[in-house]
Amino acid sequence: MAKEVLLTKEGLQDLEKELEQLKTVKRKEIAERIKVALSFGDLSENSEYDEAKNEQAIAESRVATIESMLQSVKIIDEETLDTEVIHVGSRVTVRDDKYDETASYKIVGSSEANPSAGKISDESPLGMSLIGHRVGDKLDVETPSGVIVYEVLEISK
């Protein structure tokens, strides 16, 4: 059985939009580029054709990946989450003890993670460490740059 893919409702909608865009817009764009490249003749030295075929392979691979993910998706019902304990779907504010800096994150499934947008994976070192903790808890998180001590300040939906 395929690995369960955890997504929020928003993450599912984003994935479905990406799939639709790939199937309707991207496929047509690539097909047109291949058609134009074929008109140049000799394929043995036709870099436009090679590039378009490579882009087609990448797009089709992404389509297959998304379709596979959608077959084993589990939606996180954020409305039913409590704010006593950190779960996938929780919004969390933590403080780094060493630098006395705060940061807020939303814990999401790995396929939805986007650290620059404040969405961290439940499989990341910080995400894994946060799951199950409560406000006031302090935890040591092993990172590539060493152990960082965080304190959980707030949990919300």
pLDDT at 1: 52
In whole angstroms, what is the distance from residue 126 CA to residue 150 CA?
9
Task: Check whether 2 has a pLDDT greater than 60.
Answer: yes
Q: Residue 5: its pLDDT value, please?
A: 85
Mean pLDDT, rounded, for 14-36: 94
* pLDDT over 90 (residue 139): yes
Q: What is the pLDDT of residues 84-134, one digit of tens each?
A: 999 988 999 999 988 899 999 999 988 889 999 999 999 999 999 999 999
Domain boundaries, the chain: 5-75, 81-156
State both tokens at 143.
Answer: 């990172």
Question: Topology of 81-156 in CATH?
Answer: Chitinase A; domain 3 (3.10.50)
Question: Is the full-model pTM beyond 0.75?
Answer: no
Does the domain at 5-75 match CATH 1.10.287.180? Answer given as yes
Q: CB of 117 within 8 A of CB of 104? A: no
pLDDT at 86: 94
The span from the CA of 2 to the CA of 118, in Å, is 27
What is the C-alpha to C-alpha distance for residues 65 and 70, in angstroms, rounded to an integer? 9
Collect all residues with Cβ–Cβ distance below 8 Å to 84 and sequence separation of at least 6.
134, 155
